[in-house]
Amino acid sequence: MYHRWPVFVSLLVFCIAAQVSATEYIVKVKQRANFHKVISSIHAENTVRIASIHQTGKLVKVSMDTHSKKSTAQRLSALMANKDIEYIVENIKLHAIETPSDLRFSEQWALRKINALTAWGLTKGSNDIVVAVIDTGVDPKHEDLAANIWVNQKEIAGNGKDDDNNGFIDDTGGWDFHGNDNTPNDETSSANPGHGTHCAGIIGAVGNNNLGVSGINQHVSIMPIRFLGADGSGDLFSSTKAIDYAIANGAHVISASWGAPSTKAMAQPIIDAVERANQKGVLFVAAAGNEGASNDSTPSYPANAGLINVINVAASNPSDQKPSWSNLGRLTVDLASPGEDILSTLPGNKYGNLSGTSMATPLVAGLAALLKSQDASLTPPQIKAILQSTGAKVEIETACKCRIDAAAATSAVATKALTIFPAAGHLDIGETMSFGAWGGSAPYTFTSSDPEIATIAADGKLTAVKKGEIKVNVKDSAGNLATSLDILVGQKPSESGNCPFGDPMICMIMCIIMPDAPWCSGGGGDGGNGGDAPGLPPGFPGMPGA
């Protein structure tokens, strides 16, 4: 039902605006370079201004006054000539755009569908597990959320000091990277009915309190982090800062109900941030998107980051079918989760239904936190494999062709059921992939269902031989067996071009100035069209041979 808001604000998803800022860029400094020395050299450039820095990510946000594509290309080329700069991308804009004992528990069809009541017989969660909700903010005083809001115990409230030396003053309850202050509250508007608060309630609305609804975790710590404003807008630079804040302050899971169709090159700063989360063992759960498209052919980031700590989530409806608006993808989307007409919390002690992969994502993030409350040693790849291997089979095009099942997943953790990870995957011919096992009794032995397609060593290292589909089997020391889902050999998702700027013409002009740029033919990358030359029109002025 969408009676509470107009139809166009009933399904939430995030996408890049058609026109992005042409004046702001993100400069990535090489890891081994002297960060402050590079900042000084950038500052010396009369044509650019330093707007902000993010030392953890070795990123510098610069702005420039540009009057033509030629002048923009010239200034970017001058920056890229610095050998200590790794890459430059546009600071693209992200926008929130809506598309298609607890008093109201009976209305929460999604919790019944995934068998939450049975799961709660094993665990109701733990406030020791921290889930960062990076979004439009969270209403920390909501009657059904307040008891589960994360508190930074190392910070003394209101003393104007950075007590824990994390770079943020008085951040007792998260941080607002949109307003640059310590109040990451959810500001509603016609563009935002309270998206972040809604996501937070799906994860951890307090259960059994005779109020409203219950999250999949009745007990959890929700870390509010805001980078999207009341108009649903936030930039790429701020999103990376938000991720790094979550990592640095103890988040176990990050819930990211936002993203955008984009080239990998343009999304590189956020991919780097998700990789930093991976290095710290933080699970990153992301929405596949609501364009009704295939992420295999139209990549969406950060969901398509392709890292082992990422779960890319599609949506399902009460009939276990894919809503028309949900993205899918057998190669890149990992699983499905209920995302249609989801009842949850809204700012001001309100409740309402929203739909989208934005709602499916926090349910997965919350279930991951539930598993983590059972066994804190679980790693992101293990959690992902457990969710995929225990999922209920549905006809939705994902890697596991499944929808999450909380009862089956928590039971698998409780019994330490032998599980192979990754549970599903894809690789090109000649590539390798490493498999492991969780549960059962070590040591483990691995075999391939078809060695002509892919061989696997006893220690779990698989080598792709020819195109096809296989399954990987594992046997533990007690003789227990487990089998993976489909492993696809010789199939890869589409790669978009390497131009890191929204206007391809800028990349074309820069190829004239610096032909060795990664996206130019003859440069260090694979070209602007996924392996070909950057698509310059015949006789383009100034090109060799024109």
Alpha-carbon gap, residue 538 to 546, rounded angstroms: 7
What 3-state class would DSSP assign to 203?
A: helix
Active-site position among 77, 358, 373, 484: 358
Q: Is 135 a catalytic residue?
A: yes
Is 358 annotated as catalytic?
yes
User: Which three-class secondary structure state does DSSP give residue 273?
Assistant: helix
- Please name which of 178, 181, 180, 226 lies closest in space to residue 200, comparing C-alpha atoms: 226
Q: How many CB atoms are closer than 10 A to CB 240?
A: 24
Note whether 102 and 111 are within 8 A (CB).
Answer: no
Catalytic status, residue 142: no
Selecting among 10, 102, 126, 135, the annotated active-site residue is: 135
Task: Judge whether 24 and 90 are in contact, CB under 8 Å.
Answer: yes
Helical packing angle, 380-389 and 357-374, nearest 10°: 110
Identified catalytic residue from 142, 195, 219, 426? 195
| Neighbour-count burial for 183-202, b at 16+ CB within 10 Å, e otherwise | bbbbbbeebbbbbbbbbbbb
Q: Which of 408, 404, 359, 344 is nearest to 214 (CA)?
A: 344
Q: What angle do CA 396, 398, 400 make, to 5 degrees?
A: 100
- CB-count exposure of residue 545 (10 Å: 0-12, 13-18, 19+): exposed
Q: Which 3 state secondary structure label does DSSP give 132?
A: strand
Residues noted as catalytic: 135, 195, 358
